Amino acid sequence: MSNPLLSSAELPPFQSITAKHVAPAIDKILADNRVALQELLAKSGSSHDFISAYESITDRLNKAWSPVSHLHSVADSEALREVYLPTQAKLSAYYTELGQNQTLYKKVKGLVDDASFDSLSQAEKKLLENSVRDFHLSGVDLDGDKKQRYGEIVQRLSELGTHFGNNVLDATQAWEKHISDASQLVGLPDSALAAARQAAEQKDQEGYLFNLEYPSFFPVITYCDNRAFRQEIYQAYITRASDLFVEGDKWDNQGIMNEILDLRLELANLLGFESYAHYSLATKMADKPEEVSAFLNELAERSVSVAREEFQSLSDFARDTYQVEELAPWDVAYYSEKLRQQEYDLSQEALRPYFPLNDVLAGLFEIVSRLYGIEVKPEEEKVEAWHPDVKVFGIYEGGQKIARFYLDLYARANKKGGAWMGECRVRRRLSDNSIQLPVAYMVCNFNGPVGDQPALLTHNEVTTLFHEFGHGLHHMLTQVDCAGVSGINGVPWDAVELPSQFLENWCWHPEAINLFAKHYQTGEALPQPMLEKLLAAKNFQSGMQMVRQLEFALFDFVLHSTWKQPGVSVQGVLDEVRQKVSVLPIADFNRFQCGFSHIFAGGYAAGYYSYKWAEVLSADAFSRFEEEGIFNTQTGADFKQYILEKGGSETPQVLFEAFRGRAPDVSALLRHSGLA
Ligand SMILES: [Zn+2]
């Protein structure tokens, strides 16, 4: 029987892949690659041929691993988890070995120093330069013992990250609340009630079932009049994977966090960096920790007093209107929603009927078609996916298919929460000169259709969909031929959110919204008064929103800048940062950090500031559309040409200036956030 992970098919044969295929396939490819690399290094040939051959080796491994790590995220199982960790460890060892391979390093360095370097394409040059940098960051210069220690650290960090994420997922799934009496649920919107009823039915229960997945948690904390239930679900949510988690401490992430931070610092020191923050910035657009701190502090100065005033108005409102003397953490979202309704007479829920998923998708595709001259169509041929709900689309330009993507939008068991874009196939030029087309996974966690009613989104969810599709376009519209710098590859983390946050802007313009906001039963457009309220409410509590993001960003950055200095602890840093920028009440049992997967299980360590950093770029890029028209085809074509197509083949500074005609400026972000 052949192994589906070794298949040379264009797309992964998802229906045939099982956990038992993982280890044999990866073992085989790693062994093949080691031999192929030796042969390649022994051969002479042009720089171009070397790069192409080297990328083929790497790409084969990526193409086999991508569906495995994707399934681990969207269709996890005991069996898969069992093979996932040990296989991931082998990969981590392999990449360490590559990063420290002296012969390979000398070869690449030789290509950079060679006279032929100037004749290479911009992408090839950037790829080689990045590689030299990354060899140093992988410890190629270290002596024997230190080299080995480096490998151990990287391997252990990779395990710890996976453990951290698993603990969050397991804790999230461990808690359930069954409520049989609807009178306990007054205030909850119909959509949330229906989803909770469906969740109960799926487990052959009467009544309503709630869990800690965001689509279940969010409506309760925002709308449920029952304060005791809000408190209960909040406490469970905010203590997930901690010592205080209501279902027990067996998923406690605190030991893991300390070990991760110790090892990150050791790693940074080993490579000659003062802190992990310094190490992190070696591959980012920001140069120095001081630059990041100054940036975050400037935003804090602009927003903390606004946030404080907003929280004061919220407190006054709750006291005057509802006789609530002091807002508890589980009251903030609830009374904020009431205040929003009073000020703007508009709830997220009231908008849902106007955002049926299929119309939103059609509108999104229409918008990108106008902007970039592309066409998005459902794939005609049957493509295997991992779940019946998944759909597959093609992107066409001038009648030619240039990319494909899987769309997996609904929350379900054994699927990680949140929304993201993942790479299935990366664009690159093959040795026969043909192009491997990029393929993306687009993943969200919306509530699916309930009975005859189609999936209906809130405006926030619409924005999430646009955001992820922005990442998707960055991956799929690239014209770069080297996988290592095509699409989002090689793009510094603090610039990678540019295309995603950028596309969100079209969720906030009547001209664009009117393309997709249609009542799911009547087909009626979003009534003008509702539209106006939606837009007016955009900056509701924008100061509070800003300081919340700054709290996360500062916590992450300070933690990774000061770890192991006398007196520094995870909780201590968080408390200090909150002292400075938070305006909200904090419960004693708050263990937010234990579920902060972005920095402990994802790639955002000493990099969470990237969201705001990139938002400066995205807001400023969009301001050109504000000046020239949001559907201006020339402006769209320029954005596509200078940003989306170029991927990581140039620095973000160069690309941004090419598009905008000048360096980025923070004022558009402040204006868009109502903080100017
Ligand atoms: Zn993003």
Note the pLDDT tens digit of each residue in 51-95. 999 999 999 999 999 999 999 999 999 999 999 989 999 998 999
Question: 499 C-alpha to center of ligand 1: Å?
Answer: 9
Which residue in the list 310, 461, 468, 645 is annotated as catalytic?
A: 468
Question: 501 C-alpha to center of ligand 1: Å?
Answer: 7
**CA-CA-CA-CA dihedral for 596, 471, 67, 263, to nearest 10:** -40
Contacts of 224 (CB under 8 A, 6+ apart): 185, 186, 187, 188, 230, 334
| Rounded Cα distance, 300 and 310, in Å | 15
Question: 467 C-alpha to center of ligand 1: Å?
Answer: 6
The pLDDT score that the predictor gives to residue 348 is 78
Question: 657 C-alpha to center of ligand 1: Å?
Answer: 22
| Rounded Cα distance, 3 and 14, in Å | 12
Contact between residue 379 and residue 393 where contact means Cβ atoms under 8 Å apart: yes
Q: Which residues pair with 405 in a beta bridge?
A: 393, 440
What is the rounded average pLDDT of the residues 338-348?
87
> In the 8-state DSSP scheme, what is residue 453?
B
* Residue 357 pLDDT class (50, 70, 90 cuts): very high
Cα angle for residues 497, 502, 506 (degrees, 5° grid): 145
- The 10s digit of each residue's pLDDT in 258-280 is 999 999 999 999 999 999 999 99
In angstroms, what CA-CA distances link 16 with 6, 199, 347, 503? 11, 29, 44, 36
Tokens at residue 462, please?
């619409």
Query: What are the start-end ranges of the E strands in 364-438?
Result: 375-378, 391-397, 400-410, 420-425, 428-429, 435-436
Identify the burial level of 269 via C-beta atoms within 10 angstroms of its C-beta, where 0-12 means exposed, 13-18 middle and 19 or more buried: middle
Dihedral sign for Cα atoms in the order 246, 248, 254, 257: negative
> In the 8-state DSSP scheme, what is residue 418?
S
- The 10s digit of each residue's pLDDT in 585-619 is 999 999 999 999 999 998 899 999 999 999 999 99
Residue 611: in which H helix or E strand, if any?
helix 610-628
| Rounded Cα distance, 324 and 187, in Å | 17
| Rounded Cα distance, 274 and 266, in Å | 10
Q: Which of 484, 485, 412 is nearest to 448 (CA)?
A: 412
The pLDDT score that the predictor gives to residue 1 is 62
Q: Over the range 98-120, which residues count as b (16 or more CB within 10 Å of their CB) and which as e?
A: bbbbeebbebbeebeeeeeeeeb
Within 13 A of 341's CA, how many CA atoms are on the CB side?
A: 15
Question: 217 C-alpha to center of ligand 1: Å?
Answer: 22
Question: 421 C-alpha to center of ligand 1: Å?
Answer: 8
Residue 665 has pLDDT above 70, yes or no: yes
Question: 500 C-alpha to center of ligand 1: Å?
Answer: 6
pLDDT mean across residues, the chain: 95
The pLDDT score that the predictor gives to residue 346 is 81
Amino acid at 572: G
* Residue 413 pLDDT class (50, 70, 90 cuts): confident
Tokens at residue 630, please?
């949001």
3-state secondary structure of 425: strand
Q: Which of 20, 413, 82, 70 is nearest to 215 (CA)?
A: 413
Spatial strand order in the sheet of 391-397 = 375-378, 391-397, 400-410, 439-446, 420-425
| Rounded Cα distance, 676 and 670, in Å | 5
Dihedral sign for Cα atoms in the order 314, 316, 322, 324: positive
Higher pLDDT, 539 or 408: 408
Residue 442: in which H helix or E strand, if any?
strand 439-446
Question: 516 C-alpha to center of ligand 1: Å?
Answer: 22
Q: Which residues pair with 139 in a beta bridge?
A: none
| Rounded Cα distance, 143 and 141, in Å | 7
- The 10s digit of each residue's pLDDT in 450-472 is 889 999 999 999 999 999 999 99
- The 10s digit of each residue's pLDDT in 96-130 is 899 999 999 999 999 999 999 999 999 999 999 99
Q: Over the range 318-356, which residues count as b (16 or more CB within 10 Å of their CB) and which as e?
A: beeeeebeebebbbbbbbbbbbbeeebebbbbebbbbbb
Residue 30: in which H helix or E strand, if any?
helix 19-42
Cα angle for residues 461, 463, 468 (degrees, 5° grid): 95
What is the rounded average pLDDT of the residues 163-191?
95
Tokens at residue 400, please?
């030619």
- The 10s digit of each residue's pLDDT in 419-451 is 999 999 999 999 899 999 999 999 999 999 988
Tokens at residue 5, please?
């992970």
Based on the residue annotation, tell me whether 290 is a catalytic residue of this protein: no
| Rounded Cα distance, 567 and 572, in Å | 8
